[in-house]
Structure 1
Amino acid sequence: MYPYSKSVTPAVRTHLEAQNAFLNDVSKSIFNSFQQFSNLNMQLAQTLLEETTIASQQLLTADQQTDAASAVASRAQPVADKLRAYQQHLSTLAADTQVDLSRVTEEHVKETAQTANALAQEVARTSVEDTERNVQKQQESIRQFTDPFTKNSGKRGNGSEPPRGSASMQSGSGGNAQGGSPEGGKGTGKPA
């Protein structure tokens, strides 16, 4: 119906489509009711205008005041009847609108609830997966932070490698520095 980006999951898409269908049907029902209400008001206005025209015409053609008063009184009853009929039509329209909205809601509640449930499950599953991924990343970061030499073993703190043989000279020449023999035995400290 509408193009969605690829990042939108099918659960989100179906839920949005269900919500869209529900809102479209509710809007149609409401606009239909407003249209009927407008038509009813137009009929009332037309009827009242006709009655006013007839009453005005009778007033203008009346020769005596009693004729004018009887003309106004004779038009009052039909206007009251028409206002009563308008009120009944208005009550019927309100009841029909309520029934129509209830029908639309009943039609869409089941589907909307199912799609909302599917969306909630999808969100829960995605959040669990994201949480697990984040926990693994944090554990890896902590492991690398606590043991920084496992990744860069053999490198110095500045990233360079130690010169070749320097480690063996330091450990193997410990006896020579004190004047001992290269075999590691104790010397007398006197030159030979």
Structure 2
Amino acid sequence: MFPYPENANANPALRAQFDAQVGYLATLSQRSCDLVARVSELNMQLARQTIDDMIDSGRQLAACSDPFQLGATAMHGWQRVGEHLRSYQQNLMGVLADAGAGLGQVAAQAPAAFAANSVAAANAANAAANAAASNMANAAATAARRAS
């Protein structure tokens, strides 16, 4: 049905349109994979910091000899966790803003490439349709001459 898989050179405009779409999708998936990698890195960093803080807090609580200082020691540990969460949130918002800007830039460039390739594909399709109509008219005229 489609000439591309059987004969890639049958319709260069269709190939250009297909290549533009594949390039667009490849760029989007690359940017999406980069985003996932950066968010995963932030998550791992937060997990490591939280575990380290909890271990340190546990050690400080175990070493605390005054029972009245247990609450202050525990709150000090939670304060560090809160600071790490705040830092994580700021970094995450920065990563998401960068990713949104990058994806927006890719999406803004795509319609121009698609439009140029769509015009070329439409022109090629019209030329092919005109050639097919001309061939059919010639075949009908030849058949009419042979019949008479």
Give the TM-score normalised by structure 1: 0.64
Query: Which of 95, 108, 112 is the equivalent residue of 2:114?
Result: 112
* 1:30 Cα deviation after fit: 1.2
Kindly provide the amino acid, as one letter, of the partner of residue 11 in structure 2. Answer: T
CA distance in 1, matches of 2:6, 2:96: 38
Q: What is aligned with 1:43? A: 45
CA distance in 2, matches of 1:43, 1:96: 19
Query: Which of 58, 61, 66 is the equivalent residue of 1:59?
Result: 61
CA distance in 2, matches of 1:105, 1:79: 38
CA distance in 1, matches of 2:25, 2:93: 25
Q: What is aligned with 1:94? A: 96
**Higher mean displacement: 111-120 or 43-52:** 111-120
Question: CA offsets per residue over residues 8-30 of structure 1, 9 Å max, x none?
Answer: 31111111222222222112211
**Correspondence 1:1-192 to 2 at 5 A:** 5-6=7-8, 8-134=10-136, 151=147
Question: CA offsets per residue over residues 75-110 of structure 1, 9 Å max, x none?
Answer: 111211111111111111111001111222233332
- Of all paired residues, the percent bearing the same amino acid is 23
Question: CA offsets per residue over residues 50-82 of structure 1, 9 Å max, x none?
Answer: 111111111222224322211111111121111
CA distance in 2, matches of 1:93, 1:69: 36
* 1:140 Cα deviation after fit: 7.2
Q: What is aligned with 1:160? A: none
CA RMSD of aligned residues (A): 2.7
CA distance in 1, matches of 2:91, 2:56: 24
Matched-pair contact (CA < 8 Å) for 2:60–2:73:
yes
Q: What is aligned with 1:156? A: none
Matched-pair contact (CA < 8 Å) for 2:8–2:15:
no
Unmatched 5+ residue regions in structure 1? Answer: 145-149, 154-192
Equivalent residue pairs, number: 144
Based on CA coordinates, which of the two structures has the bigger radius of gyration?
A: 1
More helix by share: 2
3-state SS of paired residue (1:63): coil
Unmatched 5+ residue regions in structure 2? Answer: none
Using CA pairs below 8 Å that are at least 6 residues apart, which structure has the higher relative contact order? 2
Kindly provide the amino acid, as one letter, of the partner of residue 21 in structure 2. Answer: Q
CA distance in 1, matches of 2:96, 2:135: 55
CA distance in 1, matches of 2:121, 2:15: 9
Kindly provide the amino acid, as one letter, of the partner of residue 94 in structure 2. Answer: T
The alpha-carbon distance between structure 1 residues 138 and 60, as it changes in their structure 2 partners (threshold 3 A), is farther
